[in-house]
Amino acid sequence: MDGLTEAKLKTLAGARSFERGVGYLAAVSGIEVGEDRIRASVRGTERYTVELVLGGRAGPAGECDCPYGQEGNFCKHLVALGLAVIARQDDLPHLRKTARERKKDLDAWLSSLSAGELLALVRDEIAVDRNVRRRLESRAAGARGDLAAIRSHLHELLDTGPFARYGYVEYADARAYAEQAGQAVSVIRSLTGPDRVADAVVLAREAIELLAGVVESVDDSDGWLVGIGSDLADAHRDACRAARPDPEELAHWLITHTLDDAADLTGIDPLDYEDLLGAQGMSALRRRAVEAWEANRTGWAEKHLMQRLAKAGRDIDTVIAVHAADLAPNGHTHLVIARELETAGRPDEALEWAERGIRDSENLAEVDTALVDHLCDRYTQADRTADAVTLRRDHFTARRTLLTYRQLRAAAHLTDSWPTEREGALSLLRTAAERKGHDDSRPLVDALLDDKDTAAAWQAATEFGAHDSQWLTLADQSRTTRPADALAVYRRLIEPLLHQTGNDVYEQLTSLLLSMRECHRNLNTPDDFTTYATALRATQKRKRNLMRLMDEHGL
C-alpha cells in the first residue's frame, strides 16, 4: 500500500486536519482505484473531487479541489479518503490489478477500431459531454490556425450568461462557472507552436480582460476566479518568454494592466518581466510609469508602481519625489521619507525631512506621534537632548495626555530639568482644569498619580473633580495614610452596584468590601464594618453568587 498509514496521514495533514478528516470518513463515496491513483468524492460544504497518489517517489500525496486543498494543502477530505483506503487495505492489490487489466483492455479495444469507428465514438462523446466538445473544438481551431474561432471559444468559456440568475452568478453556481472559465487557460497553453505563441500572448491578455470584466458579477467567496486570474498570468508570462514580444509594446501593456483593476485579479508584477523587457523595455516601463504618475500623483496604484520601480533601480531620489508629491498633513509621509533616506545612508537629509514634518504640521496635536518619537530619538543620539525636551514640551502642550506627560518627563530627566518642566506642565494642566472643570481635570489627576504624588492628586481631584476610576486609584493608594477618606470613596462606589446584577458586578462589590474592611481595621472600627456587611447581606440575600463570594472571603 506504498506505506500509507494513519501516522503518515497525520504527518501530511497535521493533527487538526487529521482529526477533522476522521469525521468525514462516512462522506467518502465513488472510490475509483487506478494503478497509482485513487479518486473519490467527499461531501463537505459541497461535493469535492479528491485524488490520492500512492506510487510517487516522495511517498503519498494528494489533490483536492476544495479551497484549502487548492492552496496545496493536504486537507481533511484527503485524510478521509486515505482512511477509507487504509480500511480497504486487503482489497487494494486486487483492485489495482483489475484497474491495470481494464486499462489494457481499453487500449486494445481502441486500437482495434477503424478510423471511422473511432470518429463515431468521439462524436458520441462530444454529444454528451460539452467539456470534451469544447476542448476538441479548441484543438481543431488551433490546428487550423483559426484565431477567430479560438477567440470566440474563449468568449464562450468566460461568458457568465448560462450561470447567472438575474445577471449575477450566485455562490451555488460560482464553482461550475469557474470550472468552465478555467478551461481558458488550457486553450491558451495549447498554442505552443512557434507560429502560434504570439497569438497566445494576445489571447491571454484578452482572457484576462474578459475575466476582470465579470468578477463583479460573480460571488467568488472561495477565490476561484483569483486562481484562474493567476493561472492566466502565468500563461501570459510563459507565452511572452516563447514569443519575445516587442519590449516597448510589452512595457506599455504591463503599465496599463498594473494600473487597472484587473491587476488585483492576476497579481502580475512588471518586474517579473525584467529579463524579457531588457534595457530598452525597462527604460520604456519607467518612462510610462512616470507619465502615469505625473497624470495622477495622488493615485495609490501609480505611487506604488513608481516606488517599486525606483527602489528596484536604487533610485532613492525618485522614491523621495513620489512621496513628496503627496505629503500627509500629519507628517507621516515626512517620516516615511526620513526612514528611506536613513536606509540610503543620508542621515542629514533624513533629519531635515523629519524636522520639516513638524514645521509643516498645522496642528501639533494631530501630528503623527511616530514622527515625534523618531525625531526625539535622533536628537538624543546626536546629543541634542535639549532639542528633544523642547519638542516633547511642545507636543505635550498641544496634546496634554498622560503619554505625552510621561514622554516629557523621560526627556527632561536626561537634562536634569524635570523639576522645572514638571512645574510648567502641571501649571498647564491646572489651567485647563480650571477653565473646563471635571472632564479636563483627568489629565492633571493622572499625571500626579503617575508621579506618585498622591496627596497632590487627592487635592486636585477634590478641587476639580475626578472620574470614578481615578477616585478608586486614589482610595487604594490612601487606605493607610487617610483611611477615612478612602472609606468614603469605597462606600460611594458600592452604592450603584447594589442595584445591579451579574458576576462581574459581584466581583467588583466583593473587592470594594475587602478594601472597606481594611480601612475600618486601620481606623480601629471593625465592628462598624461588621454592621455594614450584615445589613448589606440582608438586603442582597437573593443574589446567591454574591453571597457565595462574600462567604469565600469571610465578609
pLDDT for res 1: 43
Would you say residue 141 has pLDDT above 80? no
Write out the DSSP string of 70-89.
HTT---HHHHHHHHHHHHTG
* Cα 257 to Cα 268: distance, rounded to the nearest angstrom: 8
Domain count of the chain?
Answer: 3
The pLDDT-based confidence of 438 (bands split at 50, 70, 90) is low
Cα four-point dihedral sign 125, 129, 133, 139: negative
- Cβ 181 vs Cβ 164: under 8 Å: no
Q: Is residue 535 part of a domain?
A: yes
Look at residue 205 and tell me if it is in a domain.
no
Q: Are 522 and 457 part of one and the same domain?
A: no
* pTM of the shown model: 0.59
Spatial CA neighbour of 188 closest among 175, 171, 205, 213:
205
Q: Is residue 228 part of a domain?
A: no
- Among 61, 80, 112, the domain-final residue is 112
Of all residues in the chain, the percent with pLDDT exceeding 90 is 50
d(C-alpha 409, C-alpha 46), whole Å: 62
Q: Give the C-alpha distances (Å, rounded to integers) separating 408 from 386, 391, 395, 405.
A: 11, 9, 9, 5
User: 490 near 451, Cβ under 8 Å?
Assistant: no
One-character DSSP codes across 237-281:
HHHHHHH---HHHHHHHHHHHHTSTTHHHH---GGGGHHHHHHHH
Cell 461588621, residue located: 530
Question: Taking 90 as the threshold, does the pLDDT of residue 3 lie above it?
Answer: no
Q: Which residue, 112, 141, 162, sits at the end of a domain?
A: 112
| Judgement on whether residues 514 and 555 belong to the same structural domain of the protein | yes
* Beta-ladder partners of 62: 52
- Domain membership of residue 135 (yes or no) is no
Pairing of strands 61-64, 47-53: antiparallel
| pLDDT of amino acid 150 | 86
The Cα 60–Cα 149 span in angstroms is 42
Q: Are residues 496 and 459 in the same domain?
A: no
CB atoms within 10 A of CB 92: 17
**Side-chain-side CA neighbours of residue 83 (13 Å):** 22
- When the pLDDT of each residue in the chain is averaged and rounded to a whole number, the result is 89
Instruction: Say if 257 falls within a structural domain.
Output: no
Q: Are 482 and 474 in contact (CB under 8 A)?
A: no
The verdict on 67 and 105 lying in the same domain is yes
User: Is residue 465 domain-shared with residue 535, that is, in the same domain?
Assistant: no
pLDDT of 222: 79
Count CB-CB contacts under 10 A for residue 464.
Answer: 21
Domain assignment present for residue 108? The answer is yes
The most confident of 61-65, 184-188, 238-242, by mean pLDDT: 238-242
Tell me what pLDDT residue 486 has: 95
Q: What is the pLDDT of residues 163-178, one digit of tens each?
A: 988 889 998 888 889 8
Q: How far is CA 516 from the centre of its chain?
A: 48
Mean pLDDT calculated for residue range 380-395:
95
Is residue 62 assigned to a domain?
yes
Higher pLDDT, 323 or 475: 475
Note whether 65 and 49 are within 8 A (CB): yes
Q: Are residues 39 and 102 located together in one domain of the fold?
A: yes
Lowest mean pLDDT among 33-47, 239-253, 442-456: 33-47
**Chain Cα centroid distance, residue 224:** 19
The whole domain housing 515 covers 478-555
Lowest mean pLDDT among 30-39, 395-404, 443-452: 30-39
**310-327 residue pLDDT tens:** 888 778 888 888 888 888
Whether 435 is in a domain gets the answer yes
Q: What value does the mean pLDDT take over residues 538-549?
A: 92
Query: What 3-state class would DSSP assign to 46?
Result: coil
Q: What does the alpha-carbon distance between residue 239 and residue 329 come to, in Å, rounded to a whole number?
A: 46
8-state DSSP, 365 = G
Phi, psi of 28 (to 5 degrees): -80, 130
DSSP 8-class letter at 260: S
* pLDDT > 70: percent of the chain: 96
Last residue of a domain, one of 78, 112, 146: 112
435 and 399, same structural domain? yes
